[in-house]
Chain A
Amino acid sequence: MFIYIARRIALGVSVLLVTLVVTFLIFFAGPADPAQSLCAENRCPAVKLEQIRTSMGLDRPISVQFAEYFQGLFVGRDITDGGNVNHCSAPCLGYSFHNHLQVSDEVFRRFPTTVALALLAMVVFLGVGVSLGVVAATRRGSAFDRTLVGVSQVFGAIPYIVVALLFALYFTVLYPILPQTHPFSDGFGPWIVGLIAPAIVLGLVTSTAYVRYTRAQMVDTLAQDYVRTARSKGISGRSVIYKHGLRAALSPVLTILGLDMAGLLSGTLITEQIFSVDGLGKLAITALIQTDDLPIIMGTVLLGCVIVVALNIVVDIAYSFVDPRVRLS
C-alpha cells in the first residue's frame, strides 16, 4: 500500500515536471508578447518595447529564464523589477507583469474562494443528483422517472453560460433574493453567503449529469445477482437498495467525481466570471485575456495540474477502500 502510494506520488511528480517544462515553453517561448500589452501607448515604439522586455528579463535566453523559474519554485529567488530587488520565497511563481504582486500570493489568496465554491457546488450536485438518480432508478418507467430524465436532458443541452447568466440576472439582479458575492476581505460571513448563488447554479447544472449517471448505475446494479441474493435474505427493502445497491452503484461515480472536482478546483471560469467571484478562474481569465500576464497564467495552470494529479491519487486510494477487488500493489 505505502509502496503503491509512494510510486503514485513519484509518478505524479514526474508528470508535474513535464507539465512545467511544456507550459513554460508554450507561454514564454510562444507568440505572446506581454510587453505589447504593458505599453500604454497605442502604437508602441520599438525602443520602448525593448526596454520593457529588458526590465522583465524577457530578453534573456529561454533556458536562463526557465532555470530561474525552476529555482524560484523550489528555493526562491531574487527578482529585479525596475531597479528594485525583491526576494520571492519558494514556491516562487514570479511577479505579476501587470500589478507587480507576487504570483503565489495572488493565487493562494483566491484559492480558498474557489475551493469553497467547488465544495458548495459539490454538496448541491451530489445531494440533488445522487438522490434523484436513486429515486428515478427505483421507480424506473414511472412518470417521475421520465420527467426527471427529460428535464435533466434539456438542462444538460442548454449551454451552461446561458443558464448561469439567466440565473444570475434573475436571482441576484432583477429579484435579488440571493446575496451578491463579496471578497474574502469583507469578512467570512458575507464571503461564504455570497457563494451560495454561484454554487447553486453550478451545482444544479452539474447535477443533471449526476442524475443520469447515478440512475444508470443504479438500474444496472439493482439488476445484479447479488442484489437478488440480498433480497432473498429477508432484509428490508431499504437495506437492499441503499446498502447493497447504492454502495456498488456509487463506486464508478467516485471516478467521475474526482475528475469533476479537479476541474472545479482549478477554477470555474464561466461561473466565477458571471458572478464576479474572485477565484482562480477569474484570475486566470483576466490574466489571459486582458493583460497577457504570463506569470499569473503559469501559476494558475501549475496549480491546476497539481490539483488534478493529487485528486487522481486520492481517488485511486479511495477506490481501493470502496472496492476490495482493487488491490493497491
Chain B
Amino acid sequence: MSTGTSPSGASIRDRVGSAGDVVLKVEDLSVRFASDEGPVNAVQNLSYEARLGRTLAVVGESGSGKSVSSMTLLGLHNPKRTTITGSITLDGTELVGASEETMRGLRSSSVAMVFQDPQSSLHPFFKVGKQIAEAYRAHHHVSAAVANTRAVEMLERVGIPNPARRAKQYPHEFSGGMRQRAMIALGLVNDPKLLVADEPTTALDVTVQAQILDLIKDLQQEFGSAVILITHDLAVVAEVADDILVMYAGRAVEKGLAKHVLSQPNHPYTMGLLESVPSASEEVQELRAIRGAPPSLVYLPSGCSFHPRCDYQDQVPGERCVTELPELRILPNGRQIRCHLVDPERVLSQETSR
C-alpha cells in the first residue's frame, strides 16, 4: 500500500520505477450498466496504457464513456448494477474482480482521482485540512497532528497561500480555483502512481483553468506519476498531453502521440472534433460542428458506431461501414484507428485542402 514516507520527506521522490514505465494497463475493458431501457454499453473493448511521467489525454464528446472508464480504475461503480469485463492491471494488481478490500487499499494510495466539479466534490461540513488528512491517515498509521502537518504541506505544494490558516477553513470559504487546488492536494497526498483528473478545469473560469493546468503539469514533473486527463477541450490536450485516446460511443477510435494526432488526425471523428475547436491563431475561422448527435448507448448503430455521422462512408467500398464494426488497427505511421478507410491520412488531408 504505502511506501511509508515521513510526511516531510516525501517531496523528493525515490520511487521504485522510472519515467516511461507502464503503471496502468487496460485491456479489452467493457463496462455495462443495467437500466430500465436495457443494458447500457458505456465502455466496450477499451485498451490503453498509462506510463510514469506521461500524461494521457482521454477526449470525446459528452457520453462517450470517459468518466465511466476512469471510475472503473478506482472501483467506484455499484457492483450490483455494473458488469465489468476485461482486465485492468495497476502496478501489478488486477483490478477487475478485485475485492472491495483490495480496491480500498489502492484508492488514493496508488490511484487518485480529481473530479470535475470542485464545488460539490469536497464535503461541506468538514475542514479542508481534515479532509486531506483523512485520506493520508487511511493509508498511514500516523497521529492526527502528523496527518494535519502533511495536509498543510500539500496545500502549500499546490500553491495555496497561507496554507496553515486555509487548512482550518471550510470548502465554502475557498474560491473555485482554490477548491480545485485543494482537490489536487487531496489527490496527491498519498503520492499515487496514477492521478486521474476528470475534466478538472471545466467548472472554472478561463484564467483559473490555465493555472490549474500549469499546476498539474508542474506537479507531474515533481511527482513523476502517470496522469490521465479527461477533457473535451482539445486546446487543453495540446498544452499538456503526451498521448491521446479518442473515444466515441464507449470505444477507442484513435490512439497516438498527442502532437501527431492533433496536427494530423487519422480518424474522421477526431478530424471532426478538431474542426469544431475555435483556434486563436487562424484569422479566418470556419467552425464546423460534427453533424448529428452521439448515439444512444443502449441502441448502438450497426457496423461502425460513427457511420451515421461520417462524411467518408462513400470512400469505403460496399456497405462495410454500416455492416461491419472496424477493428482497432495499427497504421504504418504507428497510429491506431478504428476505421475502414484504407489510407485515412491521405483522404483526410485532401479534405482539409479542398
Distance (whole angstroms) from the CB of B270 to the closest CB of chain A:
30
- Tell me if A233 and B186 are in contact (CB < 8 A): yes
The answer to whether residues A324 and B170 also contact, given A226-B122, A229-B121 and a CB cut-off of 8 A, is yes
- Tell me if B124 and A226 are in contact (CB < 8 A): yes
CA of A42 to CA of B210 in the docked complex: distance in angstroms? 91
A244: B residues at CB distance < 8 A: 123
Interface membership of B309, Cβ < 8 A: no
Distance (whole angstroms) from the CB of B12 to the closest CB of chain A:
24
Interface membership of B135, Cβ < 8 A: yes
CA of A49 to CA of B327 in the docked complex: distance in angstroms? 103
- Tell me if A229 and B138 are in contact (CB < 8 A): no
9-residue interface stretch from A149-157, A234-242, A274-282: A234-242
- Tell me if B123 and A226 are in contact (CB < 8 A): yes
Interface membership of B185, Cβ < 8 A: no
B80's nearest neighbour on chain A, judged by CB, is A141
- Tell me if A248 and B115 are in contact (CB < 8 A): no
CA of A324 to CA of B174 in the docked complex: distance in angstroms? 13
- Tell me if A232 and B104 are in contact (CB < 8 A): no
Distance (whole angstroms) from the CB of A328 to the closest CB of chain B:
14
Which residues of A190-227 have CB atoms within 8 Å of chain B's CB atoms?
224-226
Q: C-beta contact mask, B74-109 vs A, less than 8 Å → 1, else 0?
A: 101000000000000000000000001000111111
Q: Name 14 A/B residue pairs within 8 A (Cβ), A-sorted.
A: A225-B117, A225-B121, A226-B121, A226-B122, A226-B123, A228-B121, A229-B121, A234-B104, A234-B138, A234-B190, A235-B138, A248-B123, A248-B124, A322-B125
Interface membership of A146, Cβ < 8 A: no
- Tell me if B134 and A229 are in contact (CB < 8 A): no
For the complex with contacts A234-B135, A235-B104, A324-B170, 4 further pairs of A-B residues with Cβ separation under 8 Å are: A231-B76, A232-B107, A232-B112, A233-B134
A235's nearest neighbour on chain B, judged by CB, is B138
Q: C-beta contact mask, B311-342 vs A, less than 8 Å → 1, else 0?
A: 00000000000000000000000000000000
Which residues of B179-208 have CB atoms within 8 Å of chain A's CB atoms?
183, 186, 190
CA of A305 to CA of B108 in the docked complex: distance in angstroms? 52
CA of A251 to CA of B74 in the docked complex: distance in angstroms? 29
- Tell me if B124 and A225 are in contact (CB < 8 A): no
Interface membership of A7, Cβ < 8 A: no
Interface membership of A109, Cβ < 8 A: no
Interface membership of B62, Cβ < 8 A: no
- Tell me if B104 and A226 are in contact (CB < 8 A): no
- Tell me if A236 and B121 are in contact (CB < 8 A): no
Interface membership of B157, Cβ < 8 A: no
A233's nearest neighbour on chain B, judged by CB, is B135
Interface membership of A325, Cβ < 8 A: yes
Interface size on B, residues (CB 8 A): 28
B259: A residues at CB distance < 8 A: none
CA of A154 to CA of B29 in the docked complex: distance in angstroms? 46
A307: B residues at CB distance < 8 A: none
CA of A233 to CA of B115 in the docked complex: distance in angstroms? 12
The answer to whether residues A224 and B120 also contact, given A236-B104, A324-B170 and a CB cut-off of 8 A, is yes
Instruction: Give the interface of B toward A (CB within 8 A).
Output: 74, 76, 100, 104-109, 112-113, 115, 117, 120-125, 134-135, 138-139, 170, 172, 183, 186, 190
Interface membership of A323, Cβ < 8 A: yes
Interface membership of A230, Cβ < 8 A: yes
- Tell me if B107 and A325 are in contact (CB < 8 A): no
A240's nearest neighbour on chain B, judged by CB, is B104
B123's nearest neighbour on chain A, judged by CB, is A226
Interface membership of A48, Cβ < 8 A: no
Q: C-beta contact mask, A289-328 vs B, less than 8 Å → 1, else 0?
A: 0000000000000000000000000000000001111000
B135: A residues at CB distance < 8 A: 233-235
CA of A234 to CA of B1 in the docked complex: distance in angstroms? 11
A322: B residues at CB distance < 8 A: 125
Interface membership of A247, Cβ < 8 A: yes
> Which among B113, B183, B190 has the greatest number of chain A C-beta atoms within 10 A?
B113
- Tell me if B123 and A229 are in contact (CB < 8 A): yes
CA of A235 to CA of B130 in the docked complex: distance in angstroms? 13
Distance (whole angstroms) from the CB of A324 to the closest CB of chain B:
4
Distance (whole angstroms) from the CB of B151 to the closest CB of chain A:
12
CA of A235 to CA of B109 in the docked complex: distance in angstroms? 11
B109: A residues at CB distance < 8 A: 234
- Tell me if A234 and B107 are in contact (CB < 8 A): yes
> Which among A229, A233, A236, A248 has the greatest number of chain B C-beta atoms within 10 A?
A233
- Tell me if A234 and B124 are in contact (CB < 8 A): no
Distance (whole angstroms) from the CB of A303 to the closest CB of chain B:
35
Distance (whole angstroms) from the CB of A327 to the closest CB of chain B:
10
- Tell me if A324 and B108 are in contact (CB < 8 A): no
A247: B residues at CB distance < 8 A: 125
A226: B residues at CB distance < 8 A: 120-124
CA of A233 to CA of B108 in the docked complex: distance in angstroms? 5
Other-chain residue from A228, A237, A248 in contact with B76 (beta carbon distance below 8 A): A228
CA of A224 to CA of B190 in the docked complex: distance in angstroms? 23
CA of A323 to CA of B172 in the docked complex: distance in angstroms? 11
- Tell me if B134 and A325 are in contact (CB < 8 A): no
CA of A144 to CA of B172 in the docked complex: distance in angstroms? 37
